[in-house]
């Protein structure tokens, strides 16, 4: 079925909203896992392991999705190398996990922009206001950099957001297909370039083999969490939502990721949570609420007034 024939509501049903909230909770708290795993694995090798276990063993049980090889390749390269390979590198030394969870939400701009460019979706006025309010919150945090965050780190995570926008667009262009199968098979295109970069810049085969053998059980649990909870569940469910709703409705939902990300980083990593972060988080949540609930709220207002 072509994706253009799918019912694209301007409001998420309650069950789809709940699914979106579960996804962003997993993604947000994941930044603590990332930081801990980077103590054992170099970033691009870590990303390669993530997608290796996302691919195996499920690829032997799931048929290839009804998407072109080119589409799968674009998705795999964008999400594996452009989004997570680059973001792991940034979180490893260039930016704090909580701030990274926020800056990567520039994906909202890119996802909605690509939708307007390729599928001619129109941005509603309330959606533009919602994104502007939420992005104001992102701007507040971006202005408060410190010794743990560099301009290179900010630029790299913005690029990760750009890559996320590309992978979102590719998954939507794939149409109504088995999204679990899509994410699993797309992972096959993430692994070779990530391994190539790791072998070239992260110590060579002997060093990576030593890293593999010396990694703790906790680090390997983190790898499996990355592969199965974040990739197989999170991105398959996310792609499924994107295939059924306009990008402007779904894309802002991960703006809640920084709330979970900053909260988890504060609790588990002792990352500071000053007043300006709380203010920025309030702006992000306000933008998200407006984007998700304004149509229903507007209808109720009209009933009474």
What gap in Å lies between CA 149 and CA 138, rounded to an integer?
15
pLDDT for 177? 84
E strand or H helix that includes residue 167: helix 151-173
What gap in Å lies between CA 67 and CA 189, rounded to an integer?
14
pLDDT for 187? 96
In the predicted model, residues of the chain with pLDDT beneath 70 are 1-11, 145-147, 251, 292, 299, 301, 303-305
pLDDT for 9? 55
Name every residue whose Cβ is closer than 8 Å to that of residue 73 and which is 6 or more positions away in sequence: 189
Q: With contact defined as beta carbons under 8 Å apart, do 15 and 188 qualify?
A: no
Q: How many CB atoms lie within 10 A of CB 151?
A: 10
pLDDT for 305? 62
Indicate the burial class of 273 (C-beta count within 10 angstroms; 0-12, 13-18, 19 or more).
Answer: middle
For residues 11-37, one letter each, b for 16 or more C-beta atoms within 10 angstroms of the residue's C-beta and e for the rest, the string is: bbeeebeebbeebbbbbbbbbbbbbbb
Quick: pLDDT tens for 131-146: 888 888 878 877 876 6
């Amino acid at each position: 079925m072509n994706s253009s024939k799918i019912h694209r509501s301007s409001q998420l049903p309650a069950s789809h909203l709940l699914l979106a909230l579960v996804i962003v909770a997993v993604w947000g708290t994941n930044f603590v896992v990332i930081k801990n795993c980077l103590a054992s694995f170099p970033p691009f090798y870590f990303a390669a392991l993530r997608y290796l276990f996302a691919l195996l063993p499920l690829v032997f049980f799931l048929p290839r999705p009804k998407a072109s090889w080119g589409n799968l390749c674009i998705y795999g390269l964008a999400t594996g190398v452009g989004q997570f390979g680059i973001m792991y590198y940034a979180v490893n030394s260039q930016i704090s996990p909580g701030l990274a969870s926020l800056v990567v939400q520039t994906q909202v701009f890119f996802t909605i922009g690509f939708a307007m460019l390729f599928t001619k979706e129109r941005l509603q006025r309330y959606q533009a206001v919602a994104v502007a309010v939420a992005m104001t919150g992102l701007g507040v945090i971006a202005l408060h950099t410190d010794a743990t965050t560099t301009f290179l780190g900010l630029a790299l995570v913005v690029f990760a957001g750009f890559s996320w926008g590309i992978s979102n667009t590719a998954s939507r262009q794939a149409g109504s297909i088995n999204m679990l199968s899509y994410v699993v098979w797309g992972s096959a295109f993430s692994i070779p370039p990530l391994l190539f970069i790791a072998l070239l810049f992260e110590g060579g085969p002997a060093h990576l083999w030593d890293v593999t053998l010396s990694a703790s059980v906790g680090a390997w649990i983190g790898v499996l969490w990355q592969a199965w909870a974040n990739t197989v569940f999170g991105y398959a469910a996310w792609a499924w939502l994107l295939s059924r709703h306009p990008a402007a409705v779904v894309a802002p939902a991960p703006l809640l990721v920084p709330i979970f990300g900053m909260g988890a980083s504060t609790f588990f990593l002792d990352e500071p949570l000053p007043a300006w972060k709380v203010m920025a988080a309030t702006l992000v949540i306000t933008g998200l609420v407006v984007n998700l609930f304004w149509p229903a709220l507007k209808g109720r207002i009209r009933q009474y007034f």
